[in-house]
Amino acid sequence: MDAYKLWVRTNREFVRSLESLANGITWLLPERFSNSEIGPEAVYAVLGIVGTVNQHIIDTAPPPGRGFPVKPEKSGFPWSLFVSILKDAETVVEVGAQHLFGEKGKWNFLAVAEGVKALVRLAAFRDSGYRMLLQGGEVVNEEKILDVPEDYGGGMRANGWPGGYVRNGHQNGYSKNHNGIVPKNLEGRAMSALSRFGENAKMALDPMLLNRLRHPFEPPALVVEKPTLSSIWSEKGLSGRLFFVGEILSILRPLIYVMFIRKYGIRSWKPWLVSLAVDLSSMSILLHAASRPHRVGVKFYQLSTSEKDELKRRKLIWALYIMRDPFFTKYTKHHLEKADRYLSPVPLFGFLTAKVVELIVGAQTRYTYTSGS
């Protein structure tokens, strides 16, 4: 296994190109979207799982040994890998269940599959410290946001200098000369001398402080406690609560959608409308939580750059609603067939259009291709 990991990490570009080529070829396999043909979907799922595992191997490669040693992140269960494997295997579950139990029977298995994915995503959400799931949990949310103010009168500043001091100039009765920060008045100098004596004695007894003094350019490690549900609920107030509720709605939306399909059928507008309502509610709540005005002394949930990109991605996948029944059967399919008729007489371009329409109509028959889960 170690030899395979080394080969994947050494030839990562070749591996990715090979996976893309193989996945593209599977779309051209005959009977790809036949209800009784499990083989092509199984091949596609296996290729997807292999690609997911390879990407996980690449992402977990140790950093190069240059400069200061990099402290490894706390290891945990690879939830992102688990979510990706579940998504790849869900299509095989759908086709197999439809082949064995029919159109109506497959929704029981899809409901179980979505339930398992929801539980895994909730576990990943909790394990990440209740941070936004990126791409449904397939990407680890590692971007850090420091809630340290630019300047405050106590403790340590964001730039590493003690509160109450400035690097140049004057503040709080102190001035800076070539030996360091020295008080102006005699009483302050006496207190400073006593303080330095105490600090020297403490460092003589504390090897960690002595080592930090010997290596002044090595920044101290920041220990950031993982947020808990109670801390988000209490410290960040309404902003944190809104974020939590909005993200939970986003996680549970696919399960709610498939449960309504199971009860009312795929041709009913109720599952379509309920799913859209949950998506809109989740997005509105998350945006409201992130855009609340900041007040002094109150922490708010701040979106990182990757989380802002994730919200944009979630808006883009709303386009899948035009691919879901009953909207697709009533509106989208009609326009696709109309475009196919107009472009079919055009040499080559008409053939390509017909193939694209065929793939779109075929993919639309798969819940896992249009569910956005």
End-to-end CA distance of the chain: 31
Q: Is residue 281 part of a domain?
A: yes
CB 230 within 8 A of CB 266: no
Identify whether the C-beta of residue 301 lies closer than 8 Å to the C-beta of residue 289.
Answer: yes
What pLDDT, on the 0 to 100 scale, is given for residue 296? Answer: 43
Q: Which range is most confident: 183-197, 199-213, 226-240, 330-344?
A: 330-344
- Residue at 191 is within a domain: no
Lowest pLDDT segment from 172-176, 233-237, 344-348: 172-176
| Domains held by the chain: number | 1
Q: Which of 117-121, 158-162, 251-255 has the lowest mean pLDDT?
A: 158-162
For range 137-162, the mean pLDDT: 54
Q: Which two tokens stand for residue 310?
A: 């994730």
Mean pLDDT for all residues in the chain: 74
For residue 6, is it within any domain?
Answer: no
pTM for this prediction: 0.69
Q: Which of 287, 272, 245 is nearest to 331 (CA)?
A: 272
Q: What pLDDT, in 10s, does the model give residues 57-87?
A: 777 777 665 444 444 444 467 888 889 889 8
Domain annotation covers residue 309: yes
Within 10 A of 104 (CB to CB), how many other CB atoms are there? 11
Give the percent of the chain with pLDDT over 90. Answer: 27
Q: Using pLDDT thresholds of 50, 70 and 90, give the confidence band for residue 100.
A: confident
In a domain, 126, yes or no: yes
Residue 186 lies in a domain: no
Provide the residue range defining the domain that includes 331. Answer: 73-144+225-370
| Assigned domain for 58 exists | no
Residue 27 counted as domain residue: no
